[in-house]
Amino acid sequence: MADTVIQNNNTKPVVDFYFAYLSPYSFLSNLSIQNDLAPFAAKIRYLPVAHRVDGDAPNFHPDRLKYIYSQDVPRYAKKIGINVHKNPILSESYSASAAYLYAVDQGVGDEFNKAVFSARWIDGLDISSADVLENIGNKLGLDSGLLRTAINDTEYHQRLLDIHQMRDELGIFGAPTFVFNGEMFWGNDRISHLIEALDSAGEL
């Protein structure tokens, strides 16, 4: 179960960021969250929510999915000056999520995370591919063999399952979701509400 972090003026605020590589709104949140929270010197705990294609990936109505990919996400992206891929590959994200945890252990988690999101949502690559993940890792100086081992490592998959349990115990139902001081903020359009909560906490 996720710890409830009590904030005071002597500690850094801690925000848990539950994200999913299959979620375009997680991608958009990841582009801005560090800058958004920089005024509060907040510590962000990145918690990947992995999905398989066979049943536990988000299941949207086809018209809603078409709207998300063809209108809503491109609209958001255009506002910040980027172009998103029009037809991203739907694939499992356990491999990428496990590789991310390995990258965190090697001290390059932030860079790896951004690169995986870009690979899927900008370049349209298959992030379930070990070759794609290895290429990302190579650019960051990660050992190719160890990264490939990590993708299927039971330890990393157990850590992903632990995150799923934390998510379920908190009642989190979608990504991105931010948790601060026991409050939950779902969606990239709720970051402004999170900022208000951080601002209020700083005044206590």
Domain that holds residue 194: 14-202
pLDDT tens digits for range 61-85: 678 878 888 888 888 888 888 889 9
The verdict on residue 125 lying in a domain is: yes
The verdict on residue 128 lying in a domain is: yes
pLDDT truncated to tens, each residue of the chain (204 aa)? 333 333 344 488 999 999 999 999 999 999 999 999 999 999 999 999 999 865 555 666 678 878 888 888 888 888 888 889 988 888 999 999 999 999 999 999 999 999 999 999 999 999 999 999 999 999 999 999 999 999 999 999 999 999 999 999 999 999 999 999 999 999 999 999 999 999 998 754
What pLDDT sits at residue 2?
A: 37
What CA–CA distance (Å, rounded) separates 142 from 135? 9
The verdict on residue 4 lying in a domain is: no
Locate tokens 């078409």: which residue?
A: 66
The verdict on residue 5 lying in a domain is: no
What pLDDT sits at residue 115?
A: 98
The verdict on residue 136 lying in a domain is: yes
What CA–CA distance (Å, rounded) separates 157 from 121? 24
Number of domains in the chain: 1
Q: What is the CATH number of the domain that holds 29?
A: 3.40.30.10
The verdict on residue 94 lying in a domain is: yes
Provide the H-helix boundaries in the chain.
24-37, 62-67, 73-79, 94-105, 109-121, 130-139, 144-151, 154-170, 191-202
The verdict on residue 29 lying in a domain is: yes
The verdict on residue 79 lying in a domain is: yes
Asked if omega into 176 is within 30° of 0 (cis), the reply is yes
